[in-house]
Structure 1
Amino acid sequence: MSSPVQSQSPLSMIADAGLPGLLIRELPARGILNLRGQTEQKVFTEAVSSMVALELPGPNASAVNDKLTVLGLAPDEWLLLTAAGDQADLAADLRTAFGSTFAAVTDVSSGYATLEISGAGARELLARGCSIDLHPRVFGTGRCVQTLLAKAGVILMYADDRPVFEVMVRRSLADYLWRWLHDAARDVGFARAGA
């Protein structure tokens, strides 16, 4: 009998970076579903609302409950973030609820790594490689956006007012982005922890 496939982080060889006023760390793996559908179809919106217990947010907004985060990527596209391992059942339940309605749900969990950037220096660091206005009046809690960070395509979410940002990046670019963030942190005047 073969052993189950074990998920491994693309950053397993790199330690978290603690810098004064700033913490960069990789978040544990989670379930990620890409959801496509048309909000004009009542069957679609009712099926999603009944399964996730949240209203679908518009583009560049998020909705959160104790089990799930929904990121609005486009008028007809969302990411559903769940606990690792919960995505398969949720995807199956959604497909059943959709019936013959035009909609799609795809497990993309293995395609992303998520970095958390927190602390007083988080905005300044992200601004070094991102053209999005990150001021709290514009990009506050509950906001998300698809953008470029240091030329890497990312999904950036403002998770809470401490401040805490989450950066979802393709696994193949995770090591590059981690190293860029660490170097940029030094460039903006942060010293390495313990230095």
Structure 2
Amino acid sequence: MSAPEPWSPLAGHLVAGRHGAVTGEPLALREVASSIVDLAARRGRAGDLVAAIRGAFGFDLPAPGRWAGDGEVTAVWIKPETWLLLAPRGVEGAFAAGVKQAAGDAGSVVDQSHGKTRLGLSGVMAREALAKGCRIDLDPSAFGPGRSAVTQISQTGCVLLQRDDTPAFELVVGSSYAIPFFDWLTHAAAGFGYEIR
């Protein structure tokens, strides 16, 4: 039997093209097809887990409020000794299996690929669009590239990270909340204009 086909909770909602305001540079909005894994250190084994992940992926697991990565795999701190790992969607379960093998007995790995949805929002006014419902200070002096937060945006629990100075953000939400969160995000971006890619 073959692996199940990847499925998006936003199927049918991602209508390609420009929406909202028709003047100015639009924001870019997209779903990022991903393999997503929760990684937690076992009691007293955080140092071993950090070393194991460094050996397997070539980067250190990040400190609180930060993300780190190698250009393909991204690790986001989400709570003490726990990280969310993001990678491009591949063969069903392969990324989780690779992380589990790398972590060995130093960490616990849970595949969240079906339980989480990852979105990207970028453009000059992206920060202003997110600020309409975000509870943290998104001013560049407080939240810039390399920063992450576990917060609420429009009453939805969200992992937020800033990729670069565009600014480009990524948002990870529970898949069961993906549609109402996406609807809120499109309303927040409409005044600036946005393009679904």
Question: TM-score normalized by structure 2?
Answer: 0.84
CA distance in 1, matches of 2:70, 2:154: 31
Counterpart among 124, 131, 135 of residue 135 in structure 2: 131
Structural mapping, 1:29-178, within 5 Å = 29-37=33-41, 41=45, 42-85=47-90, 88-101=93-106, 103-178=107-182
User: 1:94-114: per-residue Cα shift (whole Å, max 9, x none)?
Assistant: 44454444x201111111112
CA distance in 2, matches of 1:100, 1:192: 45
CA distance in 1, matches of 2:169, 2:183: 17
Compared CA separation, residues 155 and 87, structure 1 to 2 (3 A): farther
Q: Which runs of 5+ in 1 are unaligned?
A: none
CA distance in 2, matches of 1:131, 1:51: 35
Deviates more, 1:80-89 or 1:106-115: 80-89
Contact kept? 1:60, 1:74, Cα under 8 Å = no
Instruction: Give the deviation of 1:88 after TM superposition.
Output: 3.5
User: 1:136-178: per-residue Cα shift (whole Å, max 9, x none)?
Assistant: 1111101111111110111111011111111111111111111
- Higher relative contact order structure (alpha carbons within 8 Å, sequence separation ≥ 6): 2
Contact kept? 2:27, 2:189, Cα under 8 Å = no
Contact kept? 2:122, 2:168, Cα under 8 Å = yes
CA distance in 2, matches of 1:23, 1:133: 20
Name the count of aligned residue pairs. 189
Compared CA separation, residues 99 and 166, structure 1 to 2 (3 A): closer
Contact kept? 1:39, 1:76, Cα under 8 Å = no
Give % identity: 33
User: 1:65-90: per-residue Cα shift (whole Å, max 9, x none)?
Assistant: 13311111122110111121268444
Equivalent residue, structure 2, for 1:5: 4
SS of alignment partner, residue 114 of structure 2: helix
Contact kept? 2:148, 2:162, Cα under 8 Å = yes
CA distance in 2, matches of 1:87, 1:37: 24
